[in-house]
Structure formats: C-alpha cells, structure tokens
Structure 1
Amino acid sequence: MQGSDRVKRLRKRAAAKPAAKDVLKPRVVAYLRVSTEGQFSDGHGLDVQERAVRAFALSQGHQIVEVITDCVSGATPPGEREGFRRVLDLAGEGAFTILLLYKFDRLARNVLHAVTSVHELRDRHGIVIRSVTEPIDTATPMGEMIFTVLASMAAQERQVITERTFGGRREKATKGGFAGGAAPYGYQRDKDGGLLVVEHEAAVVRRIFSERAEGRTLQAIAAGLNADGLRSKRGGLWQVSSVAYLADNPKYRGVVEYLFTWNGADTHVLREGQHMPIILP
C-alpha cells in the first residue's frame, strides 16, 4: 500500500524544522575580562566567566559565535583593548546580535566608557548587551536606565577601593614600612609584605656602592658585573640605567622614600625603614 504525497510532504517539513531552528538561533559573542592586577582567582576568573556565559547561552538557545577575552584593567577604555576591538570588528561584519557579559562591570569601570560602548553597539550595529548574572536588557529604556545606575555604582566601588589602597600604602610608608611593588634587588618580600635581605644579591649591591664610591663610572660598573657573569633581578644583563637606579635607591641604607600623588596633591614620605639596611653608614 502506498501513502499519499501529502504525508511525504508533512514528514519532509517536520524533518526540516530542527535545521531551520538552528539557523534562527540568536548569534552571540561572549566577552570576558580580568584585570592585569591578578584577579584570576577572586571568583570571577576567565574560567568562571566562560562557564557561566556558555551555560546561559545553552539555556537560551543562543549560538556562540566566538568567546573573546581581555586581560586588562577595567579603567582602560574598551576601544583601546585588543579583545574588545575584535568585538567591534565582528559587530561591523554583522556576525552577532547579542553581546554576553558575565557582569556589566566586565565591560568598563568608567561609567562614561560603559554607557558609550553600549550606545555605540546598539545604535551603530543593533547589538544588545546582556549580563548572565544581572537580569537587565539594555534594549529597553528601563534596562538602559538600570544599567547606567549599575555602571555608576561599579565606578564608585572602584573609587572607594582605590582610595582605601592608596591610604593603606601611604600609612604603611609613614611608619617606615615597604609600601608595595616589587622588592628591590638585594631583598625579597617576607610573609608580612616587608623586606628580607638576600645575601648573594646584597653582596652585589655592596660591590656597586663600593665601586661607585671609588669613582668608577656607571658604564664600567655594569660592564664589570656582566663580565663576571652576574645578572640583574630579572636575569638579564646589567645596564647603566639599572646600576644608576640601584645606586640612588635609599632603601639600601635602611630608608624608605615614596612620592604619593592623589587628586593633584603630592605627599613625600622619607622615613627610617623597618627593614635591615645593606649599606651601613
């Protein structure tokens, strides 16, 4: 017994539906960002962000075109980031319609940068920006207003953190403590953030100060260190600039010196340090 052509057409149409559905899936680009200040393990690392955006895209039936990452401070304008420039290139090609973020603050800490980026993507390319952890749709006036408020709050939070960090470093320096940064050659950081003498490097520091006191030029000192196979802090050859910087560093005499600049005002700190001097008076 032979079936009708009508049933064949229905079956063919039904088989074609999944393929059509795949074609109509919203195309999205996932944009992930961590700062260069080491926020890889604070609960918002790239792996955490990627798992979240992929799970969200799957739950919404979205097709991820590309996952783009930036390892840069949120204070850097999006247009100056290598990864985000890739986002703009894909937007210009019409490759996607939704930009997925883990949180809106991954876009930018600066309110103006964040809002400008949202407007540019929406107005020029018809791109909607969505956060997988914050239920806001920037395609709607209400969603855009809420986004602007959130962006402002993120900027304020960043400002508070920066002020607190600056205040802490300045307070530590005024008490003679090492106020952050890489330990200078001849020292290493201890568990409390102070400085401990590294004796084999300290011997090189004493040599540099001694030869400088004898009247040797910076070039001659650097050449002598290199000829003897001694290497700088990073394992490279000694340069005139690195010898000069070391010879001018008061920390080797047991003194800490910092120039803090905040809101246009300078604070000069010069104190006897809490660490052990390498060069004795």
Structure 2
Amino acid sequence: MTRVAIYARYSSDAQSEQSIEDQVRVCRARAEREGWTVVEVYADYALSGASASRPQFQQLIRDARAGQFEVILAEALDRLSRDQEHIAGFHKQMSFASVQVVTLSEGAISELHVGLKGTMSALFLKDLAQKTHRGLEGRVRAGGSGGGLSYGYRIRRGLRPDGTPITGEMEIAVEEAAIVRRIFTAFAAGQSPRSIAKVLNAEGVPGPRGGKWTASLLLGGAGRETGLLRNRLYIGERVWNRQRFIKDPSTGKRVARPNPREAWITTSVPDLAIIDAETWDLAQARLSANRRAVLDLSSSAAEPTANRGERLGTVRRPRWPLSGLVRCGVCNGPLTVMGPNGRLGCANYVERGTCTNRRTILRGVLLPRVLVGLKERLLAPELVEEFVRTYVAEVNAANRERGARQAGLEQQRAKLTRQIRNLLELIKDGHGGAAMAAEVRDLERRQEELAQQIAAAGEPEPTPVLHPNLPALYRRRVEALEEALADAVTAMAATEALRALIDAILVFPGERRGEVTVSLRGDLAAFLHAAGEPEAGSGDAKKAANLTVGGLGREVMASLDAGTGFEPVTFRL
C-alpha cells in the first residue's frame, strides 16, 4: 500500500476557497485510480507560491522527512512553488527522503521538470509583476489610486451611474482631515513635531491605524518624502512609484528599495486636497530650514555636506554596550538619547507624552553604575542559595515528570509489540490478508514514533553543584570585562559578553529632584555561567573577558542554561 499526501494552494484573496477543494478532489480521484491511500491533506490558503514560508508547505516537508508517506501529489508543480531555488531545494529534500513527487499536469517530477517548470514559473511571476505595475501606472495616470491609504482619507464605497461598484478610489475623511490641517497649521506656526504629538496623545486623538502620535511619524524622511508633513497628496498631488520591492533571498521577505526621482509619477488630484498652498509652503520651508541646520552641524568646512552624509551612511557606528537594554521603570518604554550630551530619557515621555517619567541619566554615568552593581551586588550568598534551592526542586520535579512519561511510553510500546506479534502469528497461520498486513505496518510506524519520543525525552538532568569560591570568581570576570570594554581591540567582544548577562536596566524617578533609581534585571543562570568559566592561563584581562560568556562550566552548574523558567533577578544599583 502506497501512502500519499496531497498538497493544494491558491495564492490570492480574490480567489475562492473552492479552488482548494477542487484541487483536492481531482488529486483524490488520481490516488484512487492508482490504488494509493491518502494519509494527509496539506492546504495553504491565499499564500503566494513565490515564498516557501507557508505553514502547511513546511509541515509537508517535515512529515515527508519523518517518513509518514511515500508520495506527494499535487495538481501542478507551480502549486508547490513558483521559485526556481525553492523548487530545486524541495526536490533535493524529497529525493533524500525517498519521497516521490507527482503532479496531475506533469506526472512524476524529475530534474528536467524542476529546471524547465521552475524557469517558466519564475518568468510567469516576473511577467505578472510587470503587467501589474503597468496596470497600476495606467490607473495612477488616469487619476486613480495606485494602492495604499494615507491618514486623512478612506476608501470610497458606492456604485457608479452604470451600476458597477466603485473600486480603487479614495475620498477625504472629514474628521481625520481636520487633524491634518491642525498639524500643518501648528507646525507652520513654529510648534515642534514632538510637542504636536504630545498634545494629540494627551487629548486621546488616535493616530494612523489607531496608534500613538510620534515626532518621527510627522517628520518622516526627506529622501523618499515620507511622513505626514511631506505627503503631497494633502495639496492634491499624488506621487507614485517612489520605491520598489524585491525579495531578500535569505529571508524570503520583501525589502523596499528607492526608485530614482525621474521614475516617480506625479498626477494632479485636486479633489483630494486638504491643505491650502500657503500653509503647505510654510511647512515645507520650515522642514527645509531644519534639514539644512542639521546637515550644517554634521559637516565640516573641509568636507562638502553631501559627501560627508554619504560617508556617514556607510560607517558602522560603535555600539554602546547597553544599547537597547535601558528601559523606563514606569512604562517599560525604551530610553532614547536626548541632546548632544548623551542623556537618556523615556521615549514615551519625550515623543508621545504618554509617560510621567521625566528624569534623565547620562550614559557615561549609567555604565559604571551597572558594572559596579554586577561586581558588588549580584552574587549575594542568600540569593545564590535560594536560586539553587529552587533550581534543584525544579530539576527533581522535571525528572519525576520525565520518568513517569517515559514509563507510560514504554508501556505503550510493549503493548504495540504484543499486538504486532499476535498479528504476525495469524498471518503465518494463513488467517491474514492485505488489510491485516497494512495494520501491522501501521502498528510498526506507531512503534517507531514512540521510540523517537522516548529518545527525545533524554536522560534525567543531574543536580547542579556550586563552586566553593563562586562570588570571587565571578567578580574577577566582571573586572576583566570592564577592562576589555575600555580597549578598542576587545570592546566589541566584551560588549556582547556584557549584554548576554543582562535582560533589562530599569530607570525609575527618585524621591528627590533630578534623582534616578536604577534596577538591573538579568537571568541568574547566565551570571553563574560567567563565574564558572576556567581562569585564563595567561592572566591577560582581554582573554579573560572573552571567556566571560560562551560555555557551561562544569564546576558551577552541570546542566544550568539560560531561560529555565525562573523569575529574573533584580537588584538596585
């Protein structure tokens, strides 16, 4: 008996789900004619064949490698994939798993089909993209929408005089248009985007897609003319084709790439204008003035602004060791750099006005406080003792659960062994048929699955053992790490080692004016890992810093790993 899996797919929301049922129906009919047994049906709804990141398609691959069927049946090869690289890789994986791929259109799939059909499918996608782009361009040049919906507008609903539904057209949303006018008027009058966003959030005005207002949402970027204050649709000019999308081959996701300005298409749509020309010009003049001021500050007299900007875009700035780890203790929002002196403040307070934490802290002050806290405050004996006690209890409970589960699986496997033995005896005596032989194979398959589950359960986890001089070892590691952070040669490796120890650094407003309280939150398992690494033989601080994180010291905890489910440790700095 040949076990077969059916795969079906359709790619567009505009298509009907009936397409899946039709594909499965004709595949079942083919399997019945061949005498195959359909064991599973996999179907992806409204997902393009240009991407391999389809849930059911990936499950199909996993089950095929697990040996759950011998044949994959689909209506056509392009149902499985339209990408040359993906279909070639899929064919290789199925060949390795000894699974035959058969389609109703092409028959049994070979390397020849993969090459020819893969090329045809790729050309189809390219041709489809070109035709879609051409159709959208024609719609835009005729005054229609090319896709996307800006704040201040909504999709127009209704019927045309001939009775056909209106599609691809927008109209002004009166309530949102009033907010747009208010933003432009305030900005043209000198109010900053940050203060505008704060006022709107304080009044409870929902932003685009129901989110919060931010300064960056209003400003956007000058190069692609993004951001509410740069949207020319508000003065009745639709700009289309500013960017294109290409697929990243490593992730399968689309990535935006800017088009040259000569490729942009601008059409007049005066009926969609929200802002008058005078207010628009005042706002754009202020945006240009602000941009020139920023560029002048970032350029030197000896170097042209454009060249310096291009060079800065290609230089990788050194990473601050605590970047992305510092958060507000009140709202848990990220802390952002405020001003040229490197002060950190709550982004939700600064950008949105949705937090009350107005305290700031210098970056140069925060890092030393964190390092001192790591050295002096973390590995308190009572803290380590409580952690180990809890961990041992968790290990013992997990071992008991693992043992009970393994015992149950062993009982099931023994039962299946007896059933298989009895059926084989009946077949030997001439009492069995094809159905009984098929049942034996099914029982054997279930027995193999149980064996895999038993093996996956693993061995009992050993009880952790602490090094007798754990705090002193750990303190020396942090001191070596501190020295390595100050060395340009080892700073990057030391930064990664430090970040591996910390989950978050929370900054709270203190009781007195200007005072802040800092709490460090981390996984104690990671700290104990760091302390358990063997001493660096050369005694060199840089080498010791590189050993801070990266392996499990047997002297500390033989089976301890980060993320074991314990609450993170938090202490004040």
TM-score, normalised via structure 1 length: 0.74
* Cα separation, 2, equivalents of 1:163 and 1:42: 26
Equivalent residue for 1:64?
A: 38
* TM-fit CA distance, 1:195: 2.0
Equivalent residue for 1:101?
A: 74
Equivalent of 2:100 in 128, 131, 134: 128
Aligned length: 246
The one-letter amino acid paired with 1:268 is W
* Cα separation, 1, equivalents of 2:135 and 2:270: 16
Runs (5+) with no aligned partner, structure 1? 1-23
2:275 paired with 1:279: yes
Equivalent residue for 1:251?
A: 233
1:109-258 alignment, distance < 5 Å: 109-122=82-95, 124-132=96-104, 134-138=105-109, 145-146=112-113, 148-180=115-147, 182-190=148-156, 191-244=166-219, 245-258=227-240
Q: CA 1:250 to 1:42, structure 2 compared with 1: closer, same or farther past 3 Å? A: farther
* TM-fit CA distance, 1:95: 1.2
- Percent of aligned pairs sharing the same letter: 28
Give a deviation string over 1:186-222, Cα, whole Å, max 9, x none. Answer: 1123324122111112112112212222222223222
* Cα separation, 2, equivalents of 1:105 and 1:162: 16
* Cα separation, 1, equivalents of 2:3 and 2:23: 18
Give a deviation string over 1:30-56, Cα, whole Å, max 9, x none. Answer: 223333x52442863x44434444454
Runs (5+) with no aligned partner, structure 2? 157-165, 220-226, 247-256, 278-573
* Cα separation, 1, equivalents of 2:28 and 2:177: 51
Q: CA 1:274 to 1:66, structure 2 compared with 1: closer, same or farther past 3 Å? A: farther
Higher relative contact order (CA 8 A, sep 6+): 1
2:48 paired with 1:73: yes
SS of the residue corresponding to residue 234 of structure 1 reads helix
* Cα separation, 2, equivalents of 1:217 and 1:59: 73
Q: CA 1:148 to 1:232, structure 2 compared with 1: closer, same or farther past 3 Å? A: same
Q: Greater Rg, structure 1 or structure 2? A: 2
1:3-82 alignment, distance < 5 Å: 24=1, 26-35=2-11, 37-41=12-16, 44=19, 46-70=20-44, 71-76=46-51, 78=52, 80-82=53-55
